[in-house]
Structure 1
Amino acid sequence: MRIISSLLLAGWLTIGAAQAQIPQNPAAAPADTAKKYANPAGVPPPMKQPWYRGKLVRATAIPALLIGYGASTINGNGFYSSYDARNDIRRQFPNFHTKVDDYLILAPYAELALVELAGVEGRNDRLNTLLVILKSEAIFGLSTYVIKNTTKVLRPDGSTRNSFPSGHTAQAFLAASIVHTEFRDKSQWYGIGAYTIASSVGVLRMLNNRHWQSDVVAGAGLGILSAHLGYLSHRNRWGRKPLPGKYGFGPLLYPGATGLTVVWRP
C-alpha cells in the first residue's frame, strides 16, 4: 500500500514538473486606440513639393520671362532692340497697312464659343468659364491702363505715348490662354490654333507700325498672366447649381467696335 502511494506521489510530481516547463502564452497587450482615426487607410503623408513646382510659380514663370524680355528691349536696349526690329520691318514692309488685327483680338473667343456649341466639354461649365473670363479681363484692363500711363512710351508712328504694352496683343493672348486651359485635356490643337491667332495679332501690330517689339512681347506675357491669375483666383463656387434657363457668350464684332456678348434665356 505504501509502495502504491509512493508511486502515485512520484507520478503527480513528475506531471506537475512537466507542466511547469511548458511555456505559457502571455496575455496580449491591449491595442492602442488613441490614434486609430489619425490615418485609418495607412496612406503615407504627401511629400511637400518644392517651391518652384507650386501653382503660383508655374502660372507666372513664362509670363514673367516675356514681360521681362519685352521691358529689356524698349527703345534701343537689348541685343536685338525694338529699334532694330522696327528698322528691319520697315525695310521689308514699308507700306503695309491692315485693320485685320482689330478683329482678330477676339477670334480665340469665337473659337471657344464654336467649340462649346459643337458639344466639346471644357474644363469648367459655361458659367464658371464666363466668370474666369470676366475676372481675367478686369485684371488685364486695370494692369494695362496703369502700365501704359506709367511708362508713356511713344508709339512707332509717333501718334500717342501709350505704346507699352500692346493691348491688342495682350487681349488676344488672354483669350488664347482661356481656350488652351479649357480644352487642353481634349486636344492640344485647340490651344495651338488660339495661340497662332494671338501671335498673328502681335505681328500685325508691328507691321502696322503701331507697336514696338517690346510692346508685343510684353503684351503677350501680360495677357497670359491675366488669364492665369483669373484661374488661380477662381474656386468654382458657382458650379454646384447651374442657373435656370439657357445662357451663352460669344464675341461681338462689327466695324468700329469689338466686345463680348452674354445671352441668357429663362
Structure 2
Amino acid sequence: MKVSVGLLLMLLMATVVANAQDPGSDTNTLRLPNDSITLKLDNSLPAPTRVFPVRKLILPGVLIAYGATSIGNEELKNLNKEVKEELWTERDHKRLKIDNYLQWAPAAAVYGLNALGIKGEHNFGDRTIIYGLSSAIMSSAVFVTKKFSSQVRPDGSNNFSFPSGHTANAFAGAEFLRLEYKNVSPWYGVAGYAVAFTTGYLRMYNNKHWLSDVVAGAGIGILSTDLAYYLYPTVKRIFVKDSDKRSATIAAPFYNQGVVGLSLVHQF
C-alpha cells in the first residue's frame, strides 16, 4: 500500500515541534542582562552535570536510529522509493535553490532577534562559541557518516546521500534558536523547527535526499546543539581562567557541504 509522504512528514514535524515546545527540557539556564557585541564572555555559566541528560538522547536517537536502520532494511528502502515517486517521479518540476539558504535561517534569527533588542540566554561571545561548537560537532558527524555510508543520492549524482547535511544544519540552528529564546517565547523555537522541517522537505522535493537521510540529519542536528550547550562550560573553563585579567581565543573547526572553515571568537 502506498504511504502518503504528507502523513509521514507531518508525523516527523509533530515530533520535533514537541521537542521544541518543551520548556522543561533544559534546566539551570542563566539569563544574562548584558548582550553586547563586544565579545565579552560571562564566566558565571553553570558547570555541566556529570552525565549528559538521557532525555536529550531520546528524540535524536530515534531519528538517527531510523536513518541508520534504513540502510539495510528493505521495507524502509521501499518507503524511501515511495516518497521519491510521490515527490519527484510522478510530479515533474524544476528544482528549487532556496534550501541552500533556508538552512541557515534559524541560526541567523538568533542574531537578528538580538539586533532588534530581544535578548536571548547568552551574550554575543558565549552564543557564538556555542554555535561554533554545535557546527563543529554536526559537520564532523555528517562528513564522517557520508564518507563511510556511501549511499547513492536519489538523483544518482554521487554517493554522499546519507545523512542530509542541509537538514542537519537547519535542525542544529533550530535547536540553537529554541534554547536561546525558550524563556522568551516557545514560538521562536516552533518557528525555527518549521523552517528546518521545510529545509528537509525541500531536499526530498529536489530529489537530492531520501526520507531516511532527512530524518537522520534532523537527529544529528538536534543532538549536536544539545551537546554544544552541555560541553561549553567545560570548554570555557579550559580556555578562560580569568576573563577580567586576560584575553582568550576559542576556535572550532567546521565542515559543511564541501566547505572547511574555522569559527573563531576572541575576548579582548
Deviations 1:139-163 (A, max 9, x none): 1111111100110000000010010
Question: Corresponding residue for 2:63?
Answer: 66
Superposed displacement of residue 241, structure 1: 4.5
Superposed displacement of residue 60, structure 1: 1.4
Contact 1:206 1:213 in 2 (8 A): yes
Superposed displacement of residue 78, structure 1: 2.8
Deviations 1:115-144 (A, max 9, x none): 111222211221111111111111111111
Superposed displacement of residue 264, structure 1: 8.5
Of 65-74 and 78-87, the range deviating more from structure 2: 78-87
Rg larger in 1 or in 2?
1
The 5-angstrom pairing of residues 186-265 of structure 1 reads: 186-235=184-233, 237=237, 241=243
The 5-angstrom pairing of residues 89-168 of structure 1 reads: 89-168=87-166
Superposed displacement of residue 96, structure 1: 3.6
Gaps of 5+ in 2: 1-50, 247-258
Q: Distance in 2 between matches of 1:231 and 1:222?
A: 15
Letter in 2 for 1:189: W
Residue from 85, 88, 95 that aligns with 2:86: 88
Superposed displacement of residue 94, structure 1: 2.1
Distance 1:120 1:261, change over 3 A: farther
Letter in 1 for 2:191: G
Q: Distance in 1 between matches of 2:208 and 2:244?
A: 43
Superposed displacement of residue 80, structure 1: 6.4
Superposed displacement of residue 231, structure 1: 0.7
Q: How many residues align?
A: 201
Q: Distance in 2 between matches of 1:81 and 1:133?
A: 34
Asked if residue 56 in structure 1 is aligned to residue 53 in structure 2, the reply is yes
Q: Percent identity?
A: 37
Q: Distance in 2 between matches of 1:188 and 1:80?
A: 37
Letter in 2 for 1:66: L
Superposed displacement of residue 95, structure 1: 1.8
Gaps of 5+ in 1: 1-53, 245-256
Superposed displacement of residue 187, structure 1: 0.2
Superposed displacement of residue 93, structure 1: 2.8
SS of alignment partner, residue 54 of structure 2: helix
Q: Distance in 2 between matches of 1:92 and 1:120?
A: 45
Q: Which one scores higher on RCO, CA 8 angstroms, separation ≥ 6?
A: 2
Q: Distance in 1 between matches of 2:112 and 2:262?
A: 14
Letter in 2 for 1:226: S
Runs of 4 or more off by more than 4 Å in structure 1? 236-244, 259-266
Question: Corresponding residue for 1:169?
Answer: 167
Q: Distance in 1 between matches of 2:59 and 2:158?
A: 29
Contact 2:102 2:170 in 1 (8 A): yes
Question: Corresponding residue for 2:24?
Answer: none
RMSD over aligned Cα, in angstroms?
A: 2.9
SS of alignment partner, residue 121 of structure 1: coil
Letter in 2 for 1:164: F
Q: Distance in 2 between matches of 1:220 and 1:164?
A: 12
Superposed displacement of residue 90, structure 1: 2.2
